[in-house]
Amino acid sequence: MAATNKEQTIALEASGLVKLYKGCGRPALDGFSIVIREGDIFGLLGPNGAGKTTAISIMSSLLRASRGTVMIFGADTRRQADKVKEMIGLVPQEIALYRQLTARENLRYFGKLYGIKGRALGSRIDECLDFVGLLPKADQLVETYSGGMKRRVNLAVGILHQPKLLFLDEPTVGIDAQSRDMILARLAALNQAGTTMVYTTHYMEEAERLCSEVAIMDSGRVLSQGKPGELMKDGGHDTLQDMFFSLTGRKLRD
């Protein structure tokens, strides 16, 4: 669970984000605004096509918004992109690794891109692989790993440079219960150590278990935002899933 006694510095503030893709009738983001405080695990929930990945891409400075601003620990993601990139980590939805390299070779490469060198890099790689339980298999090619192992290396790369803010785009999709449980436990431990997180998932029980604050979004807008317990209580719902359905409906999003 998120740390509650931290100083409430604003880690991320997205204001009035609008994103229009060429050829799309409606905007992917339409006035999207959130505030995330330092130490939070912020769950971004929504059905397919709600705009979660677009929001993460803009907030992590991968994509330029058509309108609106994003500030991360006081730095503008467009004007101070380099400063922002030093502070953030990204765990993409796909296994963003070189499959024909070993886990250690992947971490060494990405570590060097973060400017970590020499022994510091070697010991940090060992720490991260140990953290996700893959140190004994560090020198195996990633392509030989199971889905869960790949997800864990994906996470290890994201935390290699000890980011202040970590973006996780559905980090547990398509893996077994054991691997998911381990990843959630590790994320909670990271949060305890001070890492703020933005977390997208389709698993409501994950969000309930992990997130200190959630935003439910649809059609590019935030429909509701707050602490999961308070939101459920205010809406008279027993579970986050009930609240999710009541806000976004049960209609299929194909």
Residues in contact with other proteins, shown as a per-residue x/- string from 24 to 53 under the rule CB under 8 A: ------------------------------
**175 near other proteins, rule: CB under 8 A:** no
Cα separation, 78 vs 70, in Å, equals: 8
Minimum distance, C-beta of residue 5 to other proteins, in the bound complex (Å): 30
**94 near other proteins, rule: CB under 8 A:** yes
**109 near other proteins, rule: CB under 8 A:** yes
Strand order in the sheet with 67-72: 29-37, 10-19, 67-72, 75-76
Contacts of 108 (CB under 8 A, 6+ apart): 121, 125
Q: Which structure tokens are listed for 117?
A: 């060198």
Q: Per-residue DSSP letters for 123-175?
A: HHHHHHHHHTT-GGGTTSBGGGS-HHHHHHHHHHHHHTT--SEEEEESTTTT-
**223 near other proteins, rule: CB under 8 A:** no
**97 near other proteins, rule: CB under 8 A:** yes
Among 61, 179, 195, 196, binds other proteins (CB under 8 A): 61
Residues in contact with other proteins by the rule CB under 8 A: 19, 21-23, 54, 57, 60-64, 82, 85-86, 88-90, 92-101, 105, 108-110, 112-115, 117, 141, 157, 167
